Amino acid sequence: MSETQSVDPETLIALAENERKTLVERMPQWLLVLLFGAAIVGVWQGAVSYSGISELVLPGPYQVLQDLIFTLKNLFSGGYVAHATWITLVEVVFGFALASAIGLTLGMIIGATAFGRKAIMPYVVAINTMPKVAFAPLFVAWFGFGIESKIMMAAFISFFPVTINTAAGLAATDSSMAMLFRSLEANRWQTLIKLQMPFATPYIFAGLKLAAVWSVIGVVVGEYMGGGEGLGELVRVAASQLRVGRVFAQILLLSLMGLSVFGFVTLLERYFVRWKK
Protein backbone atom coordinates (compact mmCIF):
# COMPACT_ATOMS: atom_id res chain seq x y z
CA MET A 1 0.00 0.00 0.00
CA SER A 2 2.77 2.40 0.90
CA GLU A 3 4.24 1.94 -2.54
CA THR A 4 1.07 2.78 -4.42
CA GLN A 5 0.66 5.93 -2.37
CA SER A 6 3.84 7.36 -3.82
CA VAL A 7 2.63 6.76 -7.40
CA ASP A 8 0.92 9.82 -8.88
CA PRO A 9 -2.87 9.63 -9.18
CA GLU A 10 -2.99 9.77 -12.98
CA THR A 11 -0.89 6.66 -13.33
CA LEU A 12 -3.16 4.94 -10.87
CA ILE A 13 -6.24 5.90 -12.87
CA ALA A 14 -4.58 4.71 -16.08
CA LEU A 15 -3.67 1.41 -14.40
CA ALA A 16 -7.18 0.94 -13.11
CA GLU A 17 -8.63 1.63 -16.55
CA ASN A 18 -6.20 -0.76 -18.13
CA GLU A 19 -7.27 -3.48 -15.74
CA ARG A 20 -10.88 -3.00 -16.68
CA LYS A 21 -10.08 -3.32 -20.41
CA THR A 22 -10.06 -6.76 -21.92
CA LEU A 23 -6.95 -8.21 -23.49
CA VAL A 24 -8.33 -7.58 -27.01
CA GLU A 25 -9.00 -3.92 -26.23
CA ARG A 26 -5.40 -3.43 -25.20
CA MET A 27 -3.82 -5.11 -28.25
CA PRO A 28 -2.84 -3.04 -31.28
CA GLN A 29 -5.06 -3.52 -34.30
CA TRP A 30 -2.39 -4.78 -36.72
CA LEU A 31 -1.55 -7.61 -34.35
CA LEU A 32 -5.19 -8.64 -34.12
CA VAL A 33 -5.58 -8.56 -37.90
CA LEU A 34 -2.51 -10.78 -38.28
CA LEU A 35 -3.62 -13.17 -35.55
CA PHE A 36 -7.10 -13.53 -36.99
CA GLY A 37 -5.65 -14.12 -40.47
CA ALA A 38 -3.33 -16.78 -39.05
CA ALA A 39 -6.27 -18.42 -37.30
CA ILE A 40 -8.20 -18.63 -40.55
CA VAL A 41 -5.21 -20.16 -42.32
CA GLY A 42 -4.86 -22.63 -39.43
CA VAL A 43 -8.50 -23.69 -39.64
CA TRP A 44 -8.17 -23.94 -43.40
CA GLN A 45 -5.10 -26.14 -43.14
CA GLY A 46 -6.80 -28.26 -40.49
CA ALA A 47 -9.89 -28.70 -42.66
CA VAL A 48 -7.80 -29.75 -45.63
CA SER A 49 -5.61 -32.16 -43.61
CA TYR A 50 -8.23 -33.91 -41.48
CA SER A 51 -11.55 -33.72 -43.32
CA GLY A 52 -10.48 -35.74 -46.28
CA ILE A 53 -11.57 -33.05 -48.75
CA SER A 54 -9.61 -33.59 -51.94
CA GLU A 55 -6.81 -31.14 -52.68
CA LEU A 56 -8.52 -30.78 -56.05
CA VAL A 57 -11.62 -29.24 -54.50
CA LEU A 58 -10.01 -27.19 -51.76
CA PRO A 59 -6.22 -26.87 -51.87
CA GLY A 60 -4.41 -26.05 -48.65
CA PRO A 61 -2.84 -22.69 -47.90
CA TYR A 62 0.59 -23.90 -48.91
CA GLN A 63 -0.63 -25.03 -52.33
CA VAL A 64 -2.36 -21.68 -52.86
CA LEU A 65 0.81 -19.83 -51.87
CA GLN A 66 2.74 -21.81 -54.46
CA ASP A 67 0.14 -21.05 -57.11
CA LEU A 68 0.28 -17.39 -56.17
CA ILE A 69 4.06 -17.34 -56.50
CA PHE A 70 3.83 -19.10 -59.85
CA THR A 71 1.23 -16.64 -61.10
CA LEU A 72 3.17 -13.59 -59.94
CA LYS A 73 6.40 -14.94 -61.45
CA ASN A 74 4.64 -15.49 -64.72
CA LEU A 75 3.15 -12.00 -64.55
CA PHE A 76 6.47 -10.27 -63.96
CA SER A 77 8.41 -12.35 -66.46
CA GLY A 78 5.95 -11.36 -69.20
CA GLY A 79 4.29 -14.76 -69.57
CA TYR A 80 0.69 -15.55 -70.46
CA VAL A 81 -0.56 -14.12 -67.15
CA ALA A 82 1.01 -10.79 -68.07
CA HIS A 83 -0.72 -10.87 -71.43
CA ALA A 84 -4.09 -11.73 -69.87
CA THR A 85 -3.68 -9.05 -67.20
CA TRP A 86 -2.90 -6.47 -69.85
CA ILE A 87 -5.97 -7.41 -71.92
CA THR A 88 -8.25 -7.25 -68.89
CA LEU A 89 -6.72 -3.99 -67.74
CA VAL A 90 -7.38 -2.44 -71.15
CA GLU A 91 -10.98 -3.64 -71.02
CA VAL A 92 -11.48 -2.31 -67.51
CA VAL A 93 -9.94 1.07 -68.30
CA PHE A 94 -11.96 1.56 -71.48
CA GLY A 95 -15.11 0.23 -69.86
CA PHE A 96 -14.68 2.56 -66.91
CA ALA A 97 -13.90 5.52 -69.17
CA LEU A 98 -16.96 4.83 -71.28
CA ALA A 99 -19.14 4.44 -68.17
CA SER A 100 -17.80 7.75 -66.83
CA ALA A 101 -18.47 9.56 -70.11
CA ILE A 102 -21.97 8.16 -70.50
CA GLY A 103 -22.76 8.61 -66.81
CA LEU A 104 -21.57 12.22 -66.71
CA THR A 105 -23.41 13.18 -69.87
CA LEU A 106 -26.62 11.47 -68.90
CA GLY A 107 -26.37 12.74 -65.33
CA MET A 108 -25.91 16.30 -66.57
CA ILE A 109 -28.91 15.99 -68.88
CA ILE A 110 -31.03 14.57 -66.08
CA GLY A 111 -29.77 17.02 -63.47
CA ALA A 112 -29.90 20.15 -65.60
CA THR A 113 -32.93 19.79 -67.84
CA ALA A 114 -36.59 19.22 -67.07
CA PHE A 115 -36.84 16.84 -70.02
CA GLY A 116 -34.04 14.71 -68.66
CA ARG A 117 -35.48 14.66 -65.18
CA LYS A 118 -38.99 13.83 -66.31
CA ALA A 119 -38.48 11.69 -69.42
CA ILE A 120 -35.04 10.05 -69.21
CA MET A 121 -34.71 9.42 -65.49
CA PRO A 122 -37.50 6.78 -65.31
CA TYR A 123 -35.75 4.73 -67.98
CA VAL A 124 -32.42 4.91 -66.19
CA VAL A 125 -34.07 3.75 -62.97
CA ALA A 126 -35.87 0.96 -64.86
CA ILE A 127 -32.61 -0.26 -66.38
CA ASN A 128 -30.96 -0.24 -63.00
CA THR A 129 -33.55 -2.52 -61.47
CA MET A 130 -32.78 -5.18 -64.11
CA PRO A 131 -30.23 -7.87 -63.31
CA LYS A 132 -27.72 -6.36 -65.72
CA VAL A 133 -25.36 -9.33 -65.91
CA ALA A 134 -28.20 -11.26 -67.56
CA PHE A 135 -27.52 -9.15 -70.66
CA ALA A 136 -24.00 -10.54 -71.03
CA PRO A 137 -24.85 -13.13 -73.77
CA LEU A 138 -26.54 -10.37 -75.77
CA PHE A 139 -23.45 -8.22 -75.58
CA VAL A 140 -21.39 -11.10 -76.93
CA ALA A 141 -23.88 -11.54 -79.76
CA TRP A 142 -23.82 -7.83 -80.55
CA PHE A 143 -20.15 -7.02 -80.11
CA GLY A 144 -18.42 -10.33 -80.72
CA PHE A 145 -15.77 -12.26 -78.81
CA GLY A 146 -13.14 -9.49 -78.83
CA ILE A 147 -12.51 -6.91 -76.17
CA GLU A 148 -15.40 -4.74 -77.42
CA SER A 149 -18.12 -6.86 -75.83
CA LYS A 150 -16.30 -6.79 -72.46
CA ILE A 151 -15.85 -3.04 -72.61
CA MET A 152 -19.52 -2.57 -73.41
CA MET A 153 -20.56 -4.93 -70.63
CA ALA A 154 -18.39 -3.07 -68.11
CA ALA A 155 -19.76 0.28 -69.24
CA PHE A 156 -23.33 -1.00 -69.15
CA ILE A 157 -22.98 -2.28 -65.61
CA SER A 158 -21.20 0.75 -64.18
CA PHE A 159 -22.62 3.85 -65.87
CA PHE A 160 -25.56 3.90 -63.50
CA PRO A 161 -23.92 5.06 -60.26
CA VAL A 162 -22.16 7.85 -62.15
CA THR A 163 -25.43 8.95 -63.76
CA ILE A 164 -27.42 8.99 -60.56
CA ASN A 165 -24.74 10.66 -58.49
CA THR A 166 -24.11 13.35 -61.10
CA ALA A 167 -27.83 14.09 -61.32
CA ALA A 168 -28.20 14.11 -57.54
CA GLY A 169 -25.16 16.35 -57.12
CA LEU A 170 -26.47 18.85 -59.64
CA ALA A 171 -29.85 18.89 -57.93
CA ALA A 172 -28.29 19.44 -54.51
CA THR A 173 -26.83 22.86 -55.37
CA ASP A 174 -26.87 25.17 -52.40
CA SER A 175 -29.92 27.43 -52.77
CA SER A 176 -28.22 30.61 -51.60
CA MET A 177 -25.37 30.05 -54.06
CA ALA A 178 -27.98 29.59 -56.79
CA MET A 179 -29.54 32.87 -55.69
CA LEU A 180 -26.14 34.56 -55.94
CA PHE A 181 -25.76 33.34 -59.52
CA ARG A 182 -29.23 34.59 -60.38
CA SER A 183 -28.40 38.01 -58.95
CA LEU A 184 -25.35 38.06 -61.23
CA GLU A 185 -27.56 37.25 -64.22
CA ALA A 186 -25.60 34.08 -64.94
CA ASN A 187 -27.04 32.06 -67.82
CA ARG A 188 -27.84 28.37 -67.49
CA TRP A 189 -24.55 27.23 -68.96
CA GLN A 190 -22.52 29.44 -66.61
CA THR A 191 -24.53 28.24 -63.65
CA LEU A 192 -23.96 24.63 -64.69
CA ILE A 193 -20.23 24.97 -65.28
CA LYS A 194 -19.22 27.43 -62.60
CA LEU A 195 -21.61 26.43 -59.83
CA GLN A 196 -23.50 23.17 -60.20
CA MET A 197 -20.72 20.97 -61.57
CA PRO A 198 -18.06 22.00 -59.02
CA PHE A 199 -20.67 21.65 -56.29
CA ALA A 200 -21.48 18.15 -57.53
CA THR A 201 -17.88 16.85 -57.69
CA PRO A 202 -17.96 15.07 -54.32
CA TYR A 203 -21.15 13.28 -55.43
CA ILE A 204 -19.68 12.48 -58.85
CA PHE A 205 -16.57 10.96 -57.35
CA ALA A 206 -18.62 8.75 -55.05
CA GLY A 207 -20.29 7.44 -58.22
CA LEU A 208 -16.98 7.04 -60.05
CA LYS A 209 -15.57 4.95 -57.21
CA LEU A 210 -18.51 2.57 -57.44
CA ALA A 211 -18.11 2.45 -61.22
CA ALA A 212 -14.40 1.58 -60.84
CA VAL A 213 -15.26 -1.55 -58.88
CA TRP A 214 -18.28 -2.44 -61.00
CA SER A 215 -16.43 -2.20 -64.30
CA VAL A 216 -14.11 -5.02 -63.17
CA ILE A 217 -17.21 -7.09 -62.45
CA GLY A 218 -18.58 -6.25 -65.90
CA VAL A 219 -15.37 -7.25 -67.63
CA VAL A 220 -15.14 -10.57 -65.79
CA VAL A 221 -18.75 -11.41 -66.59
CA GLY A 222 -18.08 -10.50 -70.22
CA GLU A 223 -15.02 -12.76 -70.27
CA TYR A 224 -16.84 -15.67 -68.65
CA MET A 225 -19.48 -15.40 -71.37
CA GLY A 226 -17.45 -14.37 -74.36
CA GLY A 227 -14.07 -15.95 -73.82
CA GLY A 228 -11.16 -13.92 -75.10
CA GLU A 229 -7.66 -13.65 -73.68
CA GLY A 230 -8.20 -11.91 -70.37
CA LEU A 231 -7.89 -12.94 -66.73
CA GLY A 232 -11.55 -13.96 -66.64
CA GLU A 233 -10.87 -16.54 -69.32
CA LEU A 234 -7.84 -17.82 -67.34
CA VAL A 235 -10.03 -18.18 -64.26
CA ARG A 236 -12.65 -20.05 -66.26
CA VAL A 237 -10.11 -22.45 -67.76
CA ALA A 238 -8.29 -23.03 -64.44
CA ALA A 239 -11.60 -23.72 -62.70
CA SER A 240 -12.66 -26.19 -65.37
CA GLN A 241 -9.36 -28.00 -64.77
CA LEU A 242 -10.00 -27.89 -61.01
CA ARG A 243 -6.83 -25.89 -60.39
CA VAL A 244 -8.43 -24.01 -57.54
CA GLY A 245 -5.16 -22.51 -56.31
CA ARG A 246 -4.65 -20.83 -59.68
CA VAL A 247 -8.20 -19.51 -59.56
CA PHE A 248 -7.55 -17.91 -56.18
CA ALA A 249 -4.31 -16.34 -57.40
CA GLN A 250 -5.96 -14.95 -60.53
CA ILE A 251 -8.91 -13.58 -58.59
CA LEU A 252 -6.39 -11.84 -56.36
CA LEU A 253 -4.93 -10.17 -59.46
CA LEU A 254 -8.41 -9.06 -60.50
CA SER A 255 -8.99 -7.59 -57.05
CA LEU A 256 -5.71 -5.71 -57.24
CA MET A 257 -6.79 -4.34 -60.60
CA GLY A 258 -10.08 -3.09 -59.18
CA LEU A 259 -8.17 -1.61 -56.26
CA SER A 260 -5.78 0.22 -58.60
CA VAL A 261 -8.59 1.84 -60.61
CA PHE A 262 -10.28 2.73 -57.34
CA GLY A 263 -7.03 4.21 -56.05
CA PHE A 264 -6.56 6.22 -59.21
CA VAL A 265 -10.06 7.70 -58.86
CA THR A 266 -9.34 8.48 -55.20
CA LEU A 267 -6.20 10.36 -56.22
CA LEU A 268 -8.17 12.38 -58.76
CA GLU A 269 -10.76 13.06 -56.08
CA ARG A 270 -8.11 14.33 -53.69
CA TYR A 271 -7.07 16.78 -56.36
CA PHE A 272 -10.50 17.95 -57.50
CA VAL A 273 -12.26 17.98 -54.16
CA ARG A 274 -9.41 19.32 -52.07
CA TRP A 275 -11.60 22.28 -51.09
CA LYS A 276 -13.78 19.97 -49.08
CA LYS A 277 -12.03 19.45 -45.75
Partner 1 sequence: MHAPRPDGAPILRLTNVNKHYRRARQGQSDIIHAAKDVSFDLERGQLASLVGASGCGKSTVLKMIAGLIPATGGEIQLKGDKLTGPNEQIGIMFQQPTLLPWRSVLENVLLPIEIREGRGAAKAARDRAMQLLQMAGLAEFAHAVPGELSGGMAQRAAICRMLVTQPELLLLDEPFGALDEFTREQMNVEFERICRSREATAIIVTHSIQEAVFLADAVFVMSPRPGRIIKRIEIDLPRPRTSDMITSTRFNDYVREIHDLLFGGEKEAAHV
The site for partner 1 (CB under 8 A) is made up of 174, 176-177, 179-186, 190, 194-195, 198, 201, 275-277
Minimum distance, C-beta of residue 178 to partner 1, in the bound complex (Å): 10
* Distance between first and last Cα of the chain: 51
- In this structure, are residues 110 and 163 in contact, taking their beta carbons and an 8 Å threshold? yes
> Which DSSP state fits 186?
-
Query: Considering beta carbons, is residue 199 or 262 the nearer one to partner 1?
Result: 199
> Which DSSP state fits 145?
S
Q: Please spell the DSSP secondary structure of 79-136, one letter per residue.
A: -HHHHHHHHHHHHHHHHHHHHHHHHHHHHHHHHH-HHIIIIIHHHHHHHHHS-GGGGH
Query: Considering beta carbons, is residue 77 or 183 the nearer one to partner 1?
Result: 183
Query: Considering beta carbons, is residue 50 or 189 the nearer one to partner 1?
Result: 189
What backbone phi and psi angles, to 5 degrees, belong to 202?
Answer: -60, -40
Query: Considering beta carbons, is residue 73 or 188 the nearer one to partner 1?
Result: 188
Minimum distance, C-beta of residue 272 to partner 1, in the bound complex (Å): 9
The three-class DSSP label of residue 146 is coil
Query: Considering beta carbons, is residue 181 or 224 the nearer one to partner 1?
Result: 181
**Sign of the C-alpha dihedral, residues 248, 250, 251, 253?**
positive
Query: Considering beta carbons, is residue 55 or 174 the nearer one to partner 1?
Result: 174
Describe the crossing of helices 197-226 and 80-112 by its angle, rounded to 10 degrees.
140
Minimum distance, C-beta of residue 102 to partner 1, in the bound complex (Å): 25
Minimum distance, C-beta of residue 179 to partner 1, in the bound complex (Å): 6
Q: What's the alpha-carbon Rg for the chain, to the nearest Å? A: 26
The three-class DSSP label of residue 173 is coil
Minimum distance, C-beta of residue 264 to partner 1, in the bound complex (Å): 21
Minimum distance, C-beta of residue 104 to partner 1, in the bound complex (Å): 18
Query: Considering beta carbons, is residue 30 or 189 the nearer one to partner 1?
Result: 189
Minimum distance, C-beta of residue 131 to partner 1, in the bound complex (Å): 38
Distance CA 246, CA 73 (A): 13
